[in-house]
Structures are given as C-alpha cells and as structure tokens.
Amino acid sequence: MDDSVAVYNCYFPLKGFRNLTSLELYEFYADHGSVVKDLASCLCDSPSLKKLGLAFACEITEDDDEAVLFGGPRHETNFLERLCNCYGSTCKKRPLALETLRLGHGIYLEQPSVSTDSHYLMKLVDVRSLQALHLYNGLVKNELDTSESCYRPVDWSPFTSEQCKSLRQLSVHRLEEDVTCWLKQEGSSVQELIVTDHYYLYDHGLREFGKLPLSQLSMLWMREKYPPPPSRWDGSDWSDTDSSASDWTDIDSSTSDQSETESLDTDASGRNSIQGEAPKLDRRVMTILDRVPDGGSHLTRLCMALDFEAQWVRTKISETKSQSLPKYYSLISPPNWEI
C-alpha cells in the first residue's frame, strides 16, 4: 500500500466478461471512478449472476485493535452507493437476483447520502432472493486521521422481514448491538450466524452473545482467544496464545490479575438455561455455550475455539452424574450437534 503506483494497478479489468454466474473481487485497489464504471458494465452483462463478493485492499493497524485503515480523500467510503447508482442509471434490466452477497473491507453499507424513496442497494440487488449475506463491520480508522478507531454502522434498512424471507445465513465481523437487534426484529429468517473476529477474554462484545435469539438459529460460528492451561495462570504473559477455530472458508449452505473464581455479571453473559441458573464460571474456562441464553440446545452445527487443556464443554446432564464430575466437566455433546 506504500507504493502508490503499484497499488493502483491491483485491479483486473472486466471488459469482455459476460453472462457470469459468480463474481468475486478481493484485495483490489484502483481509482474508484474507473472501477465503478467497469464493474457496473460487467454486472449489466451478467443478468444471471448469483454470487457477488467485493473487498478493497486495505492496511491493518499494528496496534492492539487491528483496525482497517480506510478513509480520506482517496479512499471514499461510498463506493457501494456509487456502484449501485451507476448500475441503476446505465442498466435497464432488473436488479440482480443474487443468492450470496459478500461486502468486505472498504465496501460499506451506509445510509444513502441523499434521501430517496428507495435504498440505493435496491437498484443493484433484489434482496428477496438473498440466501447468504456477509458484511464487514469491524474497526475502521481514517488513514489521514489520528483519532481513535470506530465501528462503522451498518444500514440494515434494505433487509426487512418482508423482503428477506429467503435469507438463511448472516456473516459479520463483530456481533454488535445493531446486529442482534436486527436479528430479533427483521432477521427472523436467519438460521446460520458466523462471527469472524477474534474475541478476547475481557472483550465487552461478548455480552452480545447473551442476547442472541437462539431459538431461530441452527448454526453458530465464532472464535475466541483463550489463555493457556491453568499451570500458566500465574500472572505471566499469555497474550500470544491463540486457539482459533479452523476456517470454514465458504459456507453458502445449503494473564489476568483477577481471582480464579471471578465470573461475568449475569446481565453481561445472559442466562444459561442449563437448569436455569446464571453461569458462575471463571472467565478463563467459559465458552460460548456458557454465554448464550439456552446453552446452545437449539444448535445443530457449532464451530468454536476450545482449549482442551483449560476449558470444558458444559452440556446438560443429570444431577446424579454431575455429582461425580469435576467443577469444570466435559461430556459428549448432544446427539444432534455437529462440532
């Protein structure tokens, strides 16, 4: 990204490509105006397109927050709006009946810059056909600004419950409050939820998992960064320990100075429906199943980061059996789970 000449050649012209059914462009970088025209022309020539994925090449900050550096005069954040408007003005065909829409780094779904009767996304995409929606809503920092990083809000207005009856999978970088609110109100058709960011031990964002409407979800995918085994819980630095989950790359389906007994507040972690009590576990051994409201009992597919030397998966068992188990126990998961 430091070589302005080379980076502006990181784009492959699409002229001549017609009747595509899938188009995914990632890590590209060029003048926004020329890319908008070229991409809109290709999309006009591909009326049967089913999958569209876009993401600019971006730098990542080297500090702890790992924010995406994107913004400023040469990195406008309204690329998607410009693309939709260009497609709507030059192409006389109907919006694309996409099944999968992936919007990555630098492709932000923001509120329209001008108030109109319909959202600009409607000019490009017929959201009624969407089955999988992937959005990047992580930290962003203006390259020319020294201010703190921020989360860019997502404009969820195009995705109403009436319009998105076919939407089955949602992928976001962070599970923020606007995401959980949308899932409860308008995203009732979503059955599969993917959260791609790494969550740390005392990340306030973990609170949102306790608000999930799990009764509608059949799949949950998330990653946490955990501390090392208990033998190293002695105040030494364990920040580099990473037990990340394996990547499910394409699912379009079909230490601390706190005491060892410290637990999350019940209003932060939600209620665990395993015997109805709030979890009272050390944060260092808790998993996503201890944070979600029903302990994951409705899930049929689960992807999670788990340190087998420090954590145990809590599952529903009888009181008789539980008396003979250690404080943090592990059992075979329910038979309807795929882990």
pLDDT digits (tens, 9 = 90+) for 249-262: 444 444 333 333 33
CB 249 within 8 A of CB 255: no
Kindly state the tokens that stand for 163: 């319009």
Can you say whether the dihedral through the CA atoms of 290, 246, 175, 184 is positive or negative? Answer: negative
Residue 277 CB: number of other CB atoms within 10 A?
10
SS3 209: helix
- pLDDT string in tens for the chain (339-residue length): 566 666 667 788 898 999 999 999 998 887 788 889 999 999 999 999 999 999 988 877 766 566 777 665 556 788 999 999 999 998 888 999 999 999 998 899 989 988 778 899 999 999 999 999 999 998 888 766 666 777 878 999 999 999 999 999 999 999 999 999 999 999 999 999 999 998 887 788 898 999 998 889 999 999 887 654 444 444 444 343 333 333 334 444 443 333 333 333 333 343 433 333 444 667 777 778 888 877 888 888 988 877 666 665 444 433 334 444 333 333 334 444 444
CB 253 within 8 A of CB 237: no
Alpha-carbon distance values, 268 to 8, 261, 271, 282, 304 (Å):
45, 17, 9, 14, 20
Q: What is the pLDDT of residues 261-271, one digit of tens each?
A: 333 333 334 34
Report residue 306 CA to chain centroid gap. Answer: 19
Residue 136 CB: number of other CB atoms within 10 A?
24
Nearest-CA neighbor of 173 among 187, 145, 147, 154?
154
Distance CA 33, CA 279 (A): 53
Number of H helices and E strands in the chain, helices first, is 7, 12
